[in-house]
Amino acid sequence: MTDMLMVTDLGRDGLGAVLESAAVVKADPSSAAGSRSGLAVGLFFEKPSTRTRVSTEVACADLGAHPVVLKQDEVGLGKREAVKDVARVLDRYLDVLAFRVFRHDDLIELAEYADAPVINLLSDRSHPCQALADLQTISEQRPLAGTTVTYVGDGNNVAHSLMLAGAMAGMHVRVASPPGYEPDADITNEASGIAAGAGGSITVGNDPEELVSGADVVYTDVWASMGQEEEAEGRKALFLPFQVNSELFAVAADDAIFMHCLPAHRGDEVTDAVMEHARSRVFDQAENRMHSFKALLLHLTPSGG
C-alpha cells in the first residue's frame, strides 16, 4: 500500500499501527525526530487551510523532512496543467504528494500517474487524516472498540471518514442528519459491512436526540463546507434542530466528550457552552492532526527517505 486516498486504504492493521505510532510520537517527540531526513513532502492546497497546513508542515519538519508547500494559483491543477502532468512532474521532485482538493477524482488520477505515495489531505468525498486524529483523540479517553460516537449534522467528507475509520476500529458510529443530507449510501453500506466484521455498527437517522442518547462521543461539523457558501443561509433552518447545545449534549453519556474538526461556527452547529465545556476535546483533536500525520508519514515511507 502506497497511497491513502480513503482511510480504508490503510487496512485494519495499518490503522492500528498508525494510531499506536501517533500515541508514541505524541508522548515522546524525540522518538522519531530526524528519522525522515532527506524526505521531500509536497503539500498542495487547492482549498484554504489552517490546521492541515500548519500541522503537516510542523510534522514534516519534526521528522527532518522538507515540506514543499504549493497552492492552486501556482500549480493550476486541472486548469493551467493537466492533473496527470502535474502528477508526473511532481513525482520527479518529491517523495510524498499530499493534496487538499475539491474533487476526489483528481486524487485518483494523481495516484494513477505518480509512483510516490499520494495522501488525501481533504477531498469532497473523504477526510482520512482528520479521521486518524479523531480516533487518536477518542483513544486517549477510552478503548475504541465498543465506543459509541454520534456525528450530528451534514453527512459530508468528515462524516464519511469517521464512519469508515470507526467501523474499522469496531466502534458504533451513529449519524444524525436532516433528511436529504445523510452520508452517501455507498459509504454507509461499505462502513456497515466493515463494522459487521469488526464488532461495531453503523446507524444513520434523522433524530439527533435519539441518536445522541447515551453516546460516548458527540461530534459535529459546520453546516456548509467550503464550496457550499451559497447554500449556507438556506441550510440554517434545516440544520438548526441539529445544533449541539447543552440540552442535546446532556442526553449523551455522563462522561461523554465533545469533538469538532474545526473551524467551528459558534452559535450555529455548536454553542459556546459546549465548545468550552470541560469535556470538550476539540483542541486536543486539533493538536492530534500533527501527531497522526507524523505517524502516517512514518507508516508510508522508509527511514531516511
Residue 276 backbone phi and psi in degrees, to 5: -95, 10
Sign, CA dihedral 75-78-82-83, equals positive
Look up 100 and say whether it is catalytic. yes
Look up 127 and say whether it is catalytic. yes
Residues in the chain: 305
The active-site residue, picked from 127, 172, 235, 260, is 127
Question: What are all long-range contacts of 299-303, with beta carbons under 8 Å and residues at least 24 apart?
Answer: 299/10, 299/14, 299/17, 299/18, 299/21, 300/2, 300/4, 300/96, 300/117, 300/119, 301/36, 301/39, 301/95, 301/96, 301/117, 303/35, 303/36
The active-site residue, picked from 160, 235, 289, 291, is 289
Q: Which amino acid is it at 287?
A: E
Neighbouring residues of 34: CB distance < 8 A, sequence distance ≥ 6: 63, 64
Q: Which amino acid is it at 180?
A: G
The active-site residue, picked from 95, 106, 124, 130, is 130
The active-site residue, picked from 174, 221, 243, 281, is 221
Look up 261 and say whether it is catalytic. yes
Ranges of beta strands (E only) in 111-222 are 118-122, 148-152, 172-176, 201-205, 217-220
Q: Which amino acid is it at 75?
A: V
Look up 60 and say whether it is catalytic. no
State whether residue 269 is helix, strand or coil. coil
The active-site residue, picked from 100, 160, 235, 291, is 100
Q: Which amino acid is it at 9?
A: D
Look up 12 and say whether it is catalytic. no
The active-site residue, picked from 261, 281, 285, 291, is 261
Look up 129 and say whether it is catalytic. no
- Residue 45's CB is within 10 A of a number of other CB atoms, namely 21
Which residues are designated catalytic?
100, 127, 130, 221, 261, 289
